[in-house]
Structure 1
Amino acid sequence: MGKLKVLIVDDEHLIRNLIRMRIDWESQGLIIVGEASNAHEAMDMVDELRPDIIFTDIYMPYINGIEFSGKVLEKYPDIKIVVVTGHDEFEYAQQSIKIGISDFILKPIHASDLLHVTAKLTQKIYEERTRNQELERLKKDLERNFPYLREKFLYQWLEGALSKEEIHEKAEYFKLPVFFSGGTYQIAVIEISPISEKQTEEQLILLGMECRNKIETFYKDDSRVMIIPDTRNQMVIISFSQTTHLVSDCESIQATLLKSYKCLVNIGIGRRRDKMQEAHLGYQEACRAIHYKAFVGHNQVVCFEDIVDNREEYYRSNPELLQQLQFCISVGSSERATEILEQIFNVSFSGVSQFRMAAMDVITECQRAAMEQQIEDEQAQNAETLVSILTADNLPELMNILERYVLYVCQTIHSKFQTKEGNLISQVKEYLENHMSDPQVGLASTAAAFFISPGHLGRLMKKETGQTFVEYLTHVRMKRAENLLKTTDLKGYEVGEQVGIPDPHYFSVLFKKTTGRSMNEYRNGK
C-alpha cells in the first residue's frame, strides 16, 4: 500500500506552510499532494487528486470549512477530514461531527498534535482498506462455499429454525425445485460408528467421507434425493421421491456399508410429511428411532412408526421442555433441571416402552450438555444409566435413576464452571497487570483476548472482585501510579502514560479522586 495523499486547505499561506513544515510527512507514510486557499479551488483538487486526508480551516471565503467538508463527504465518504480550529471556534466546529468529520486540531498547531492525528487516521484508513479487501475475499469465498451454504440451509430446515417464508425464499435461492413440487417427503438418519475405539480421528473422518461417497453414489441418478451431514456426524437422507421406498433403500445402503467397512450402521426413518415446515418433526423422529438401538441392538433399520403402538396413546417429545432441560444442565442448575424432568414425565404412559422412550430423550439432552462442556468421565456414568433403564420396569424406579443421573451431570458441570471461572479471573487480573500501560485496554479488548463476551466477563469480575471491570482496572492503575510516585522521579504525565492514561489532566483528576490527594501532595507525603 503506497503513501497516503494529503490536501491542505486554508486561506492563510502561513497556516498552510506551518502545517506542511511542522512534521516529516513522508516518514509518517504520507505525502502532501496539494494546497488550496479556498473551498472552490480545493473541490477541484479533490476531484483531480482524490486525497486520503484533508486538513481544512473553518473560516474561508465563499464557503466555510464545514460546508466544504459536507460536500466532500457527500461525494467521497471515504476521505478523512481534519478541521483546524481555534479555541473560540471549537464549539462551532463540534457541529461538524454530525456530517462525519474525522478529527480536530486546535490552533496553535503543535507537531505532537499533528503526529497523533495523522497516526490515528493512517491506521484507520489502513484498517478500512484491509476490511474492504477482506469483504472482496469473502465474496469470492461465498461463491466457493455455495454447496456448504446449501447444506447449512437444509440443516436449518431440518432443525425447524426457519419460517415457511424463509424456507421458500432460501429454497429458491439455492435452486431446489423439489421444495415446490407439492409432494410428500421422508427423512432418514444414518449413524456410522467404528467397531473399535482405537481408531484415530483421521480414520474416523475418512470412514465418514467414504460412507458418504457410497450413499451419494447410490442416489447419483435421483435428483429428488439429497444427502447432508448433521452436527452429530450422522448422514441425513431427504427423499422427495414418490416412487422410491426409503426403507428398502436404507436396508440396501446398510448392507453395502457393512460389507465395505468395519463399522456399525444404525438407521432411523421418520414418517412421511407433506408440510415443509414440519421437517424438524420427521428429523426428530428419525433420530429417536436411532436411539432405539439401546433396546434392539446395533445394525438395525428402525422406522419411527414401528416403535409406536398406534392403537394406544404414545409418548411425544416436547422439544421446548427438552431444550430447557439441556440449558439447565449446561449451566449446572440442578434444582431447575429436576423440576423440568418432572414436567417431562407428567404424562400418562401406555407402557414401559413408552417411558423408556422419554428416558432416552432425557439422556440424549444430558449427553449433549456433557459433550458441550467436555465432561470426560460422563460416558461411563451414561453406560451405567442405560443399563439401569433397560432393567427398570416401573416409572418410580426409572425416575429415580434419571434424577440421579441428571443431578450428577449438573453437579459435574457446576464444579467445572466454578473452577474455570476462578482460573479465568486470575488470568484476567494477571493480564491487566501486564497490559495496564496500554490505553486501549478495556472490557471489550480484554474479553476478546480470552474469547468470551464482554457482558459475561463483566459479570464474573463483579462476582469475583466486588467491583466492575472499570473500577478494578482503575484501582490497579492507581496502585501502580502510587508506587511509581513513591519509587521514581517520573513526572506526573509520565506516570500517567506508564499506567495507560496518557491524558495528563484526566489522570491528575482521576488520581486525586481515587486517593484524595494530588500527585504532589502524595509524593511529598502530605
Structure 2
Amino acid sequence: MNTYSLLLVDDEEEVTQVIERKIDWDKLGFCVIGHANNGLKALEMIEEFQPDVVMTDIRMPYMDGMQLCGEIKSRYPTTKILLFTGFDEFEYAKEAVHLEIEEYILKPLNAIELTEVFAKLKQKLDQEIDEKRNVETLQKYYMDSLPLLQANFYSTLIEGRIYEEQLEQYLKDYQIQFEAPVFGCIVIHTSTNRVPEGMNPQLLAISVERQAKEQLAPKWKAKCFAYLGNTVLIVQLRQESEISELTDECDRFCKYVHRILGAVTTIGVGAVCNELLELSKSYQGAKEAVSYRVLYGSSRAINIKEIVPKKQVDQEVSSEGELLELFKMIRLGSEAQIEESVENYLKHLFVPSETLQKHHVALMELISTLYRFSENNEISSKEFSGEMGEIYQILINLEPEGLKKWLLKVSLSFREQITDARSSSTKSLITKAKTYVESHYREEGLSLDDICEELGVSNSYFSSMFKKETGNSFVGYLTEYRMEKACKRLIETNEKSYMIAKSVGYTDANYFSYVFKRQYGVSPSKYRTEYAKGEK
C-alpha cells in the first residue's frame, strides 16, 4: 500500500496535535512528517521534505494560509492542499478556486469528516500514481512516442551531423519549429541498477521520459526524445541567464520522479548556444555533466558551466577512444583507473605491425591533445612543460615502460590540479556569498534567489555546495548572521527592538522577536537584560 506524507500547518500547536491524535493515519495510508506554526516555516519544511499533502489553516502570523497555498502551487504544483477554516473565512477561502484546493474543511474539525476526506484523497493519489506506473499505459506510450523521422533528425542534430545547407529543408519536411534565440541540451539519465522492485528498467526510463514531456517540455518549448539509453531535451530560452532557472527546475524534477516513481535520475545541463548547428557542443557538455554524478551524487541536476571551475572544456578530438577515456578518468576517476586507462591507450600506441612513421604521428597527436587539454583546463605540469618539439624529441626515444611512466605522471598531475581547482572554485563561491551577505544583510528581501543571481549559478548547485562547505543552509546562515548582528546592537546600544530588527533586515518586529527567541531561547529584551546583569 502506498503511504503519503502529510505536513500540518497551524499557529495553534494544540490544534495540530489534536488532528494527529484523532486520526489513525497509518490505516488511512498517510504519515505526518511534521508541524509548522506559520507559513514561512512551512515553506522551509516543504522545500526540505516535499510532502505529498499539506493541510493548513488560513489565519497565521508572517504568512497566512492563502499566501502559503499560492507559493505551494507555484513551486510544487503536484502537492495536494487541504484548507481548514472558520465559518467566517469560508467564503473568502472559496474565492481562491484558482489555487486548486482539494478540500475546504470547516472548524471545529470532526474526526469522522477528516477520515472521509483523507480516504477520498488517498484514492485520488493512488489513482494518479497507478496511471503513471501502469505498465500497459507505458507500453502504449512507448509505441506512440515521437515520430521516428523527427527523433532521427534530433539525434543527428545533436551529434553535429547536420550541415547548414540541409537544415532548412529538414525543418520544413519534418514540420519542426524552433522559435527562441537561445538553445541548449539537457540529458536525463535514469539509473538501470537502482529501480523499484518488480519494475522493468526500460519501462521506468520511459515513464521518466513521459514526465519530462509533461513537466519540463511545455515551459521550455523542448523537443524531447530518447537517445542512447537517455532522454534528451533540446530546450529553447529567451536569454542565456535562464539557464540557472532551468537547472533548478531540473533539480526539482529529479527529486519529484524519485518520490513518485522511485526513479534515480541525473540531469546534465549543457552550455547554451545561439545557433542550432552548435547544439552538438551543448549535448557533449550535458553528457559530460551527467558523468560527474560520481562526484556530486545522483537524483539532481548538474550544470556543466557550474562544475567546471575554469574555461568550459571542449571535447578533445582524437582518433583513439582510449585517449578520450583517459581524459575522462583524469576528471573523474581514481589513480588506479587512470593507470588502467594509460595502459589501454599505450596498447594501441605500441602495435608491432604499425610503421615507425605512424607511431611518430600518434605521439604528435598525443602531445597536441595533451596541450589542448591543459590549455582548456588552465593547468600545467613539470613533466609537460617547454616547447612541443622538445617534448616530442624526448618521447620518440622512450621505450614503452618509460612512456608509460611519463604519461601516468602527467595524467596524475593533471588530475591533482583539476581537483584542487574544483575545490578552490567552490570555496571562492562560498567566500563571495558570505561577502555579499555582509554587505546586504540589512535588506529585508535578501533571498537565495538574489545571491544565486549575483553569483550566476543555480539555486540547487549553490545550496548543495554551501551546505557541503559550511554545514548549514544559506537561509540558516543568513539568519544566524543577522541574529549575531542583532545581539551586538542589543549589547552595545540602547536602541529599541523594532529599530534593531529593521537594521538587520526585519521590518516585522514580532517576526524578528520570534526568530530571535527560536535562535537563543529568550526574547531580545530579556537577552539585553540578562547580559546587563551579567556585566554587573
Normalised by the length of structure 1, the TM-score is: 0.39
Query: Larger Rg: 1 or 2?
Result: 1
